[in-house]
Structure 1
Amino acid sequence: MNKSYKFTVHDESVNTYGFRMLTDGANLTEFEKNPVILYNHNDWETPIGRADRIYKENGAIVAEIVFDTDDPKAAEIAGKVERGFLRMASVGAWPPEEATDDELMKLDGQTGPTITRWTLREISICPIGANHNALAMYDRITGKRIDLSDRNTVIRLTDNINNANINPKKENNMSVITQMLRLSDSASEQAIAEEVRKLIALRDQYQSEIAGLKTENKNLQVKLDTYEQKEREARKTQAVALVDAAVKDGRIDASGRDAWLKNLERDFENASVQLASITRRQTVATQVIPEGKSGAITLRDMTFQDILKADRLKELKQDKELYRQKFREAYGHEPA
């Protein structure tokens, strides 16, 4: 099986004739019926190969070419391709079906029209082409090559298209465009193109600014999320401290601890105020003896353990009978 060679046979750059042809507008169907590969567009000679596959890719037309190595001439060409002495392929096309002189479609250095619809006729291996998308065109009636080096020929190829198909449509649309751009109806295509370029530049500028703002907003959101997370953690720590303190001083029972933590998580401000408003439980040991009443009467109302906690044992021992009574109640026997 003969080796297949991949060639980029066309792209959308401006050729040396001053015009360019759009890849999307290429009709490959006619060529696929007879995918001949010629040498230097010499269609009066036998083909040197065929295109096993042809397709559009990234704005270009790519052909996978197989050479007829049983033919000495084709084998010679295949050898030069294999060894890197021939690297260029060129498309041969019928005259274009549609074209436009729209300035917005033109690239730098483009002096001719932009071909928007055309048909591929053949592909040739060639030593030097018009450029990296070398081109040949053929007369549909005679089948002979058209001399594209003649500027007048190129103009004639597209004049009928421009006059018949493009200008009426352009005239219908220009007034709408000039109104949208706030230009006079007599504004030139160059003036219109310049205004459109300004709009495109503004669009690009705004897109860049929007991208910057989006990045800034994302960074600020990360900082906000981090701050809020720290705030939540600090509030949680504070809530635990408040609830534990309330359990310790008797304002709430330990069984209600989790419920208070949930209340503080939902609404910290109100829940903390409610918790602070609960009266602390007063132990007997911390009660103040009313003025004018003896300590003995107060001690009589206290348990021995409460007296110990209140550090009033010395005061109790001053009343020996009461001391023995409280000790007996606490331990079940007389003090030693």
Structure 2
Amino acid sequence: MPKPKPFIFNDESVENHYGFFILTEGISLVRFEKNPVMLSNHWNYNESVLGHWENWFIQDSRLLGYPVFDTEDEYAKLIAGKVERNHIKGCSMGIIFDPEDLVYVGGKFILMKCELTEVSIVAVPSNKASVQLYKKDNEPFSDIEIQSLCLSLKNKNSENPELEIKTETMKKITLSLAALAALSFDKSTPEVDVEAVETAVLKLGNENAQLKAKNLTLESAAEAEQETKITAMVELAIKEGRIPATKKDDFVNLAKANFDLAKSTIEGIPAKVNLSTQIQNPTGGATEVTSKEAFLKLSTAEQLQFKAEKPEEYKKLFTKTK
């Protein structure tokens, strides 16, 4: 089978069928990276899983990724064949977003931030005619809800005192001092070209989205580092005999909620003394339990420990040789 071509998950320059654009840098991949599932037409059923995605990347404001089909599944194998023969070329993102992140700028609706949950194989490319929108509780938005949201944003924008459009010319716009400062315009010239305002707003939005995307990446890396640190601390505590292995999950959850409390709790539990080491060298010298006499010099606790941990050696000590 020839090497698969990458699919375009999102192209921020192309309007989707809901009537808005999705900023590529604002797409969070944190959840998707953990489970990059490939569905068929956004059907959230086990039998609709066609495979997964890998090696996704951003190029020219587009988010792309490579498909990996489950060829052991007959339906997935069928779809893979259609893709290989160039009969299917489109995919569609399933995203979760907050309505507050959808803005109306320069006559365009732009989704500044969202979270990618899955990417489906569809007959029509995503930005052209298909994108699945979910609320934070994973419930899909209806077409009416999206239309109402866009209409509300448009009306709100037209009433915004920060951007008062001069209807007689539609070429100039008068900004308040606050808007001039936010967009880095000369405060002494409140009347600015509409195109210049649109460009400045889009630039500001892009910069904000990029910063948020970087913050999400840093947060994800910090979370991974903290999980590694927690696991190492708890596993060491088990190894040292401070806590039983059955309590591992409890201490991991405690550390996730309050790392310092979990650390101090573990440190407050004494480590289990390894008596077998003391038996081999109870005084710190080179003495070992190699005879009955050496065994009898041990304390009662050490004798019991030796008998429990080294039953064969114990038996030899008290077995008469012929």
Q: TM-score range by the shorter chain?
A: 0.3 to 0.5
| TM-score normalised by structure 2 residue count | 0.47
Larger Rg: 1
TM-score, normalised via structure 1 length: 0.45
- The structure carrying a bigger helix percent of its residues is 1
